[in-house]
A and B are shown apart, each in its own frame.
Chain A
Amino acid sequence: MKVIATSKLTKFFGKTRALNGVDLEVKQGEVFGYIGPNGAGKTTTIRILLGILQANEGQAQLLGQDAWQDAVGIHRQVAYVPGEVNLWPDLTGGEVIDLFVKLRGTNNSSRREEMIERFDLDPSKKCGTYSKGNRQKVALVAAFSSDADLYILDEPSAGLDPLMEKEFHECVGEVKQQGKTVFLSSHILSEVEKLCDKVSIIRQGEIIESGSLKDLRHLTRTEMLIETRKPVHGLEDFKGVHNVQQKDLEYSFQVDSEELGRVIQHLGQFEVIKLESAPPKLEDIFMRYYRGSGAEE
């Protein structure tokens, strides 16, 4: 079942085109990573999904209903964490969490205390005295203590310290185990790599790459470092091998993922004594596109 489906979403702000024909598809139980540099259109997309902005063209459906028309109904099943959490300075964190839970129309806050403890939040403090990270925690506690089907998270770990980030990752893992769907926008690639099943990359309002991480890794190269007893011949000429660098009998190079097997076979004859390989990184894919955008400008 499709939890999120958009087709050709286009949004203008005045004359600026913020989104240009964005197609997204998120299935139930998936953790979906939505990545792109700042200003690419991630938050705009999320605001359209939440019915806060109306798309100029195209359709957005959440849980089988129209994102704009049926916003209120949809949101009973959605938990949302904004990227920039602005709270009422006079209210305490605890009050805000309770208010948020109530605003969703459900009264299920059984996990509230547990979440407050896990995120190490002092709920008796006024929001005006909270740091950015603490305001983020308020939103995270409210989201994860509610019983939603879809979690929409807009760069949620910005401002969290590493311990809290880990806690957040565990929360995502738990809701995933329960078969919930997570839509995670981020520009922290290691996070997306760790948590997500599928990703879409957006740049300047357009989706430039979509697929499972496995699919995307075909587009990347594995980093290899080897040491052999015999000098290696013919590495440079090998199809799919790049940037060979040699220091005595140590070689470092990059291999296209689909050529990896044949290269390893070839290396076998030179008596390998050390082999290190770094997995292809999402960062590489991302940087390739990112550089691409830089070159255009």
Chain B
Amino acid sequence: MRRGLFNKAGVNARLIFRRDRWRLLFWILGIFLLTVVVAFAYTELVPTQHERMVMAETMRNPAVTAMFGPGFGLDDYNYGAIMGHQMLLFTALIVAIMFILMVARHTPGDEENGRIELIRSLPVGRLSNLSATILVCSGACLVLTLLIGLGLYATGIEGLDLEGSLYYGLVLGATGFFFTAATALMAQLAESSRGTMGFSFGLLGFSYLIRAIGDVGTEALSWLSPLGWVIRSEVYVNNYFWPIGLTLGGGLLLVGLAFYLHTLRDLEAGFIPTRSGRKTASPFLQGPLGLGLRLQRTTIIAWIVGLFVLGASYGSVLGDLETYLESMELIQVMLIDVEGFSLTEQFLPMLMSVIAIIATIPVLLLTLKIRGEEDKNRTEHFLARAVSRSRVMGSFLLLAIVVMIGVLLFGVFGLYSAGAAVMEEPISLNTMLKSLLVYAPAVLAMIGLGVLIIGFAPRRTGLAWLYLGYSFFVVYLGEMLQLPDWMARLSPFGHIPRYPLEEIVFSTLIIITLIAGGLMALGFWGYNRRDIYG
């Protein structure tokens, strides 16, 4: 090849594959299983043609269009159309994330770690690493395409025909390739792997956003977004190939551009230099609390927005839920007569428990951040100065509690504002606030567990996540799977009164809060006594 730019790319590709085979396997298998499980879940959720048609009706509103893209095949809303409309875009997002991480890991990531320097000193072409990374990722896209395409067809679910399934897989593969190429290009522009990821995720978020705006309003905008192309192949219903061709072509163009820019630049350099930052600390950056806030602000804002959107997306179906359930007169009569609550209100505690458990994720992340800092040997910057261990722990704990209140409130606001817009008789904000805030003691108990683990078993932080996962499992799926009651009682979330269906039992809430406080106190005690590792 010309000037040997691609020399030994094959060897390099094998090295990348060797290093990442498990990572690739888990990603691809994970995406595959998710797709198949969701496909089967729809057959449980909407088993009859009638129910699917009701679901199709709920798809005709702007909130849903903004989330999933414009509906298609709504006149004959079979499982194929449902998957292609409700699932494809989200899976494409996950695929894009996978390949952004893969490429960022191998191009700027390896450059920063000095590994590329080692390899480049050998008789290896300048574009060898970049092309090898793209080669491995393209291979992964191909495997993903075939696995999902054939896998969906193999489920034998009505409506998932071979052609549509292969198109479904192909859209995902093409999206993966496009974002591989886009990230490869970003890696030439940015100076670091963090910068590359920042640019790439920025592009992904922007693509999603302008697609949402475009789909609801000006359709021309959607044509600027690779995610807008995804939904327009209308898999299973029309199976248009040209949006896929557009995605692949766009990807190839970006690869060419990335190669060209790579030959121009120096190793470890980028075309967009890192912006220089502040020379002095702001008045907020005064101690561990200010630092925690500063380090986590993007994450915190993202989670608050995320919870708002989650709440809003649940809220946007509340109006249709009434319509949906009204169409099934039998169920409506049964539930309302027995309980004395509207169907939506009966649905509320379930919604709230899910929102509360998802809201626990950022809160627990923040709590366990103390341990992450210790692992990276940065806690000693505090402890070697005039900062006590209690202050370090207390700062992160305070932050976690404030964020807990923030994400819970914004979840409710999202739910309420979207719900009020679509419901004829909106549930009052007061009821909604109460039904979510009763979960605060349970979230506090999870924080307490996190603090306890940090105090006594700092290497076992995974236990907190395991317990949260268990809580989600028993609370969310417990009733569906008819698990025994005591299994739910093992989780703090299982003790929370299901307001408005049940009265708020303050003694229960106080006891859970006291237990949470006790766990925290114990954790502080342990943290003050133990060695700091790192």
On A, residues with C-beta under 8 Å from B are 47, 50-54, 71-73, 75-76, 78, 80, 82, 84, 86-92, 94-100, 102-105, 122-126, 128-129, 152
Contact = CB atoms under 8 A, between A and B. Distances in A.
Given A71-B383, A104-B385, A124-B277, A86 B531 contact: no
Interface string B258-288: 0000000000000000101111111001111
Contacts of A53: 531-532
A178 B87 CA distance: 70
B274 A82 contact: no
A52 B515 CA distance: 29
Contacts of B530: 54
B384 interface: yes
B380 A125 contact: no
Interface in B232-281: 274, 276-281
B352 to A, nearest CB: 34
Contacts of A84: 377
B382 A92 contact: no
A102 B278 CA distance: 17
Contacts of B282: 95
Given A75-B384, A103-B385, A125 B276 contact: yes
Contacts of B294: 90-91
A124 B276 CA distance: 5
Nearest to A48: B531
Given A53-B531, A53-B532, A124 B278 contact: yes
Given A51-B383, A72-B386, A84-B377, 18 more contacts: A53-B532, A54-B530, A71-B388, A75-B385, A76-B386, A80-B384, A91-B277, A91-B295, A92-B278, A94-B279, A95-B281, A98-B281, A103-B387, A124-B276, A124-B277, A124-B278, A126-B277, A128-B192
Contact of A103 (B194, B376, B386, B529): B386
A180 B381 CA distance: 21
B459 interface: no
B191 interface: yes
7 contacts: A52-B532, A54-B530, A86-B376, A86-B378, A95-B278, A95-B281, A105-B386
B115 to A, nearest CB: 16
A113 to B, nearest CB: 10
Contacts of A94: 277-281
Interface string B284-307: 011110110011000000000000
Nearest to A94: B279
A129 B274 contact: yes
Contact of B279 (A54, A78, A87, A124): A124
Contacts of B380: 47, 50, 52, 82
Contacts of A90: 294-295
Contacts of B384: 50, 52, 75, 78, 80, 82, 152
Given A72-B387, A100-B385, A129 B277 contact: no
A89 B291 CA distance: 12
Closest 9 CB pairs of A and B: A98-B281, A124-B276, A92-B277, A103-B385, A94-B279, A105-B386, A80-B384, A95-B281, A75-B386
Given A52-B384, A92-B278, A87 B194 contact: no
A126 B294 CA distance: 14
Contacts of A82: 377, 380-381, 384
B274 A103 contact: no
A123 B279 CA distance: 5
A88 B386 contact: no
Nearest to A105: B386
Nearest to B288: A103
Nearest to B378: A86
Contacts of A72: 386-388
A129 B385 contact: no
A51 B532 CA distance: 9
Interface in B517-534: 529-532
A103 B381 contact: yes
Interface in B423-447: none
Contacts of A99: 281, 285-287, 290-291
Contacts of B532: 47, 52-53
A43 to B, nearest CB: 10
A71 B382 CA distance: 11
B531 A54 contact: yes
A128 to B, nearest CB: 6
A102 B281 contact: yes
Contacts of B279: 92, 94, 123-124
B158 to A, nearest CB: 51
Most B CB atoms within 10 A — which of A50, A99, A129?
Answer: A99
B197 to A, nearest CB: 12
A128 B377 contact: no
B100 to A, nearest CB: 18
A69 to B, nearest CB: 11
Contacts of B377: 82, 84, 86
A86 B287 CA distance: 17
Contacts of A122: 276
B88 to A, nearest CB: 35
A162 to B, nearest CB: 22
A50 B295 contact: no
B198 to A, nearest CB: 11
A116 to B, nearest CB: 9
A280 B462 CA distance: 55
A98 B280 contact: yes
Contact of A87 (B192, B285, B286, B378): B378
A124 B275 CA distance: 9
Contacts of B274: 125-126, 129
Interface string B308-342: 00000000000000000000000000000000000
B286 A102 contact: yes
A76 B387 CA distance: 9
A103 B386 CA distance: 6
B22 to A, nearest CB: 26
A80 B281 CA distance: 20
Nearest to B391: A72
A75 B290 CA distance: 20
Nearest to B531: A53
B16 to A, nearest CB: 24
Contacts of A152: 384
Contacts of A80: 384-385
A51 B385 CA distance: 10
A95 B285 contact: yes
A104 B281 contact: no
B533 to A, nearest CB: 9
Contacts of A47: 380, 532
A108 to B, nearest CB: 13
Contacts of A76: 386
B77 to A, nearest CB: 46
Contacts of B382: 103
